[in-house]
Structure 1
Amino acid sequence: MPPGGSTRADGWWPWLFVLPTVIGVLTFYIWPIVKTGYLSFTETGPFGGATWAGTENYAELVSDEHVWLAVGNTVVYTAIVLLGIPIALGLASLVNRPGLRCARLFRVLFFMPYIAMPTAIALVWRIIYNGDFGILNWFLGLFGIDGPYWTSTPGFAIVAVGVVGLWSSLGFGLIIFSAGLQGISTEYYEAAQLDGATRWIQFRKITVPLLTPSIFFVTVISVINGFQLFDLLYAIMGNANPATARSQSLVYIFYNQAFIQQNQGYAAAIAMLILVVIGVVTWFQFRLQRRWVNYV
């Protein structure tokens, strides 16, 4: 008998405690993926029923220019959101300066847009972006600049939505980076000051390297959220917008095919494309993090 009087054979008791989690994962994660994968090889009618279609949906997916345009729009939106990471890092460094008053209030104010409903955010920014009486065009008019119809002009629309996504995600990055900054010992900065290092050198040589795990985490979450763009785009653009056809995201096309066109087989193929793209990008991020993330 092993030391302590216990045996390695614990029977079925451990499985009893793990079983609810296993059932939840199989029911809400694994089974939907399997079901969607099956539907992607079928053709469904508007009243239900599925017939086997083989790889026809994927062949159509490869040749569909709207899908590839949506891929480009999704990548543009995600890239714009990622620009908020250095901004959030700079804001976190300012908010966490020693002796700053109302630091908690600043964190709450920056975090509020992240927890707000996307529809509420969209309503506010639709007013800001309005081409006739919007605040943004009014401000540009003070300098003699005639602003465009931001959300109704192809090319500007997805960038405008990306700016909203960047703004609303700053609070998440700020909170994560603030927690990371509080875990950095002040001894590093004191030693750097004795060596004559400026604040910028301390930020570049101490703060950023020690925050790379937090930066990596925020980057992964931001990319995943970026490729799942739908609600914010839908609330800002709407269906009657002339720029919607050129500003759709992958999830937006999935929604249109699944619930408007009732083409569930093709929509399932788009869903599998989204799953594969997110999986591959996340895998590359984890592979590359070995080269730049420093775990102390």
Structure 2
Amino acid sequence: MEVGKKQYKAWLYLAPTLILLIIFIIYPLLNTFIIAFKENYNYLNIGYGKGADPTEYEFSSWGLANFKAIFTRGDFIQYLKTTMIIVFVSVPVSVILSLVIAIGLNSIKWLQKFYQTVFFMPYVTNTIAIGMVFSVMFATHGGLVNNIIKVFGGQPQNWLGGDLMDSAGNALYPSYWKSMLILLTYITWNALPFKILILLSGLQSIDKQYYQAAQIDGATKMRIAFRITVPLLSPQIAYLTITSFIGAFKEYSSVVAIFGNQAGPKGYRRQMATVVWYVYDRMKTSDMTKGMGYAAAAAVVLFLIIMFFTLINAWVSKKRVHY
């Protein structure tokens, strides 16, 4: 009886969270899957059932037309490629950099708290504000990066588009990879603070006796790092890798922060668009019978990709992580 009462109280305390979870996560997720398989879906006619005329009915039929359309029409494949590049470059680079910085911060004593605060500041700064700073840094005229290039005798680069001309008077537009470099730099830099905080906490919890024993045995610093530090930090590294993969696949705010709603430099709209940007863009389209269905199909594809890589990361973590 006492056990039943405790379980009842536990479910009572969990009820508000579970209700919000069902309303804002589970139901929208299931509804997205359903919409993805509805052809010519018109959200203005919800509840009117299936029919040939999309202006009078909710959808015309069930099928895979939305999935076929996003893979055969438009630039969805290009957006998926951009997203994949962001994921497989920014995640490993940010994790490795944060590990190196965390080890460095943990090894110093003088002004350690000050440097920790400096590295953590971007985490509490507005994403759009940081994006605006990057836009100013990479501005064609008067930007910090171009000014540094000119100091060393180089030619200013057209990073974000603008009115930069070559010697023949032709407009110079930024290449895909030049824009990608800026975006990856921003995403990686913006991702460092949280990772550094997690890894630094893990480093400070490692028993110092491991290091003392290794030093007595004459182990080098590099050997200590790879044989003691990294294995003992593997739970934190695994957690950061999984969450970073998920976050990078859903990248959207960074693109808007640097390039605005056009998702690309001036003159090249959608050049840096990601899958999530495509979902939002299709939802805002004026075509009531295509936009929402395409957006739902793209969201389902992204969900399955994220699920696939998350399961792979979880499997690798199970084999390699030392708890």
- TM-score calculated relative to the size of structure 1: 0.90
Give how far 1:46 is off: 8.7
Pick aligned residue for 1:237 from 224, 244, 259: 259
Equivalence for 2:310: 282
**Counterparts in 2 of 1:123-202, with a 5 A limit?**
123-152=132-161, 153=174, 154-202=176-224
Residue identity matched to 1:288: V
Q: Quote how far apart the aligned CAs of 1:191 are.
A: 0.7
CA distance in 1, matches of 2:113, 2:14: 39
Unaligned segments of structure 2, at least 5 residues: 47-57, 162-173
- The corresponding residue for 2:53 is none
**Secondary structure of 2:110 counterpart:** coil
| Residues 27-74 of structure 1, C-alpha deviations (whole Å, 9 max, x = no match) | 111100111112222324596653144211011122235111111111
The partner residue of 2:300 within 250, 269, 272 is 272
2:282 pairs with 1:257 = yes
Pick 1 or 2: higher relative contact order, CA cutoff 8 A, min separation 6.
1
Alignment correspondent of 1:106: 115
CA contact (8 A) 1:151 1:243 kept: no
Q: 1:293 to 1:14 in 2, by over 3 A?
A: closer
TM-score (norm: length of structure 2): 0.83
| Cα distance per residue 1:206-238 (max 9 Å; x no partner) | 111111111111111111111111111012112
Tell me the distance in 2 between the aligned counterparts of 1:121 and 1:294: 36
Match of 2:59, SS state, is strand
Aligned residue for 2:99, secondary structure, equals: helix
- Within 2, Cα distance between the matches of 1:46 and 1:15? 35
278-287 or 14-23, which deviates more:
14-23
- Taking only the aligned residue pairs, the percentage that are identical comes to 25
Distance 1:116 1:9 in 2: 47
Quote the residue 1:293 is aligned against: 321
2:258 & 2:220 partners in 1: Cα distance?
A: 44
Distance 1:48 1:107, change over 3 A: farther
Residues in 1 aligned to 2:133 and 2:213: alpha-carbon distance in whole angstroms: 47
Query: Which segment is superposed worse, 209-218 or 260-269?
Result: 260-269
Find the aligned partners of 2:160 and 2:238 in 1 and give their Cα distance. 32
Cα deviation for residue 190 of structure 1 reads 0.6
Output the CA distance in 2 between the equivalents of 1:46 and 1:155.
38
Matching of residue 51 in structure 1 with residue 59 in structure 2: yes
1:13 Cα shift?
4.5
In the TM superposition, what is the alpha-carbon distance from 1:148 to its structure 2 partner? 2.5
Name the Cα RMSD after superposition: 2.0
Q: Distance in 1 between matches of 2:121 and 2:286?
A: 36
Query: In the alignment, is the contact (CA less than 8 A) between 1:76 and 1:159 conserved in 2?
Result: no
Q: Deviations over 1:86-136 (max 9, x none)?
A: 1111111111115x1221221121111122111101100001111222111
Say whether residues 1:19 and 2:15 are aligned partners.
Answer: yes
Residues in 1 aligned to 2:150 and 2:226: alpha-carbon distance in whole angstroms: 39
For the 8 Å contact 1:96–1:181, the answer to whether it is kept is yes
Secondary structure of 1:221's counterpart equals: helix
Does structure 2 retain, via aligned residues, the 8 Å contact 1:131–1:148? yes
| CA 1:282–1:46: 2 relative to 1, 3 Å | closer
| Runs (5+) with no aligned partner, structure 1 | 1-5
Q: State the number of aligned residues.
A: 289
Aligned to 2:29: 33
